[in-house]
């Protein structure tokens, strides 16, 4: 049995939350339809909490919150890439979530502390990912609160170089994923103007490197409550 995320590094999270004077950490998870948001949440919780869409119809249409423990709460959001009208509705839901507020010591703060953008390993729909970043995420939450991660490492090379007996990549696929992470980091800079940290890659379906994603979030937790930006977008 591997790491139990509900009790993983809770001291680190709690220590940081005490500095921020909030509890829990609220993390928005987003990405294009099919990137594996729900599968990622299920990998965090190590059980089915979010229903996974099997066909072309996305399962997540609204906004669902899931508490991993007293310190960590994730918000599942609808994906983009389902048509202009539906995407417009989904953008509005996400922007509204980014402007959900709370008051502390007479000051208004943003409820969502961080945004995690999941990119699919096969890298088929980066255009929609850039739209998501440019129109929803970047204008409405500070760039140091944005993390990009790459899911579906198992199919990044169309299933080649993925060792099915141990459900992990071989060295050739690891090299490919490293190059892909650097490429996405560079392409996000070109498309949005922001510098992101090098994305972490993983396979939610097989539980490979999910711990690294969790570490990525904890290691780059914000240190302060989130000041609201001027609302822009849908």
**DSSP E strands: which ranges in 121-228?**
146-151, 162-163, 168-169, 200-201
CATH no. for residue 137? Answer: 3.40.50.300
Distances (CA, A) of 51 to 35, 40, 41, 42, 70: 14, 11, 10, 9, 23
Per-residue pLDDT of the chain (234 residues; tens, 9 = 90+): 479 999 999 999 999 999 999 999 999 999 999 999 999 999 999 998 876 654 434 444 467 899 999 999 999 998 898 899 999 999 999 999 999 999 998 999 999 999 999 999 987 778 999 999 999 999 999 999 999 999 999 999 999 999 999 999 999 999 999 999 999 999 999 999 999 999 999 999 999 999 999 999 999 999 999 999 877 765
Predicted confidence at residue 89, as pLDDT, reads: 93
Kindly tell me the sign of the dihedral angle through the C-alpha atoms of 189, 33, 24, 109. positive
Q: How many domains does the chain have?
A: 1
Asked whether residue 56 is assigned to any structural domain, the reply reads yes
- The reported pLDDT for the residue numbered 153 is 97
232: in domain:
no
Domain with 142, as residue range(s), is: 5-219
Q: Considering the domain boundaries, does residue 167 fall inside one?
A: yes
pTM exceeds 0.85 for this model:
yes
Q: Reduced to 3 states, what is the DSSP secondary structure of residue 133?
A: helix
């Amino acid at each position: 049995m591997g790491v139990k995320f509900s009790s993983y590094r809770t001291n680190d999270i709690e220590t940081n939350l005490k500095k921020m004077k909030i509890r829990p950490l609220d993390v928005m998870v987003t990405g294009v339809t099919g990137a594996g948001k729900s599968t990622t949440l299920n990998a965090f919780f190590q059980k089915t909490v979010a229903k996974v869409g099997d066909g072309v119809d996305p399962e997540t249409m609204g906004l669902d919150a899931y508490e991993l423990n007293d310190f960590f709460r994730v918000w599942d959001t609808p994906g983009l890439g389902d048509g202009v009208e539906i995407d417009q509705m989904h953008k509005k839901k996400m922007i509204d979530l980014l402007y959900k507020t709370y008051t502390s010591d007479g000051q208004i703060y943003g409820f969502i502390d961080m945004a995690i953008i999941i990119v699919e390993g096969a890298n088929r729909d980066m255009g929609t990912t850039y739209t998501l970043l440019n129109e929803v995420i970047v204008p409405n939450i500070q760039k140091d609160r944005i993390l990009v991660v790459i899911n579906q490492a198992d199919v990044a090379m169309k299933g080649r170089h993925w060792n099915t007996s141990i459900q992990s990549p071989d060295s050739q696929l690891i090299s490919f994923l490293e190059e892909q992470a650097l490429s996405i980091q560079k392409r996000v800079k070109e498309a949005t103007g922001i510098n992101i940290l090098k994305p972490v890659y993983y396979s939610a379906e097989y539980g490979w490197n999910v711990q690294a994603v969790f570490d990525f979030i904890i290691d780059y937790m914000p240190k302060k409550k989130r000041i609201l930006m001027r609302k822009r977008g849908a």
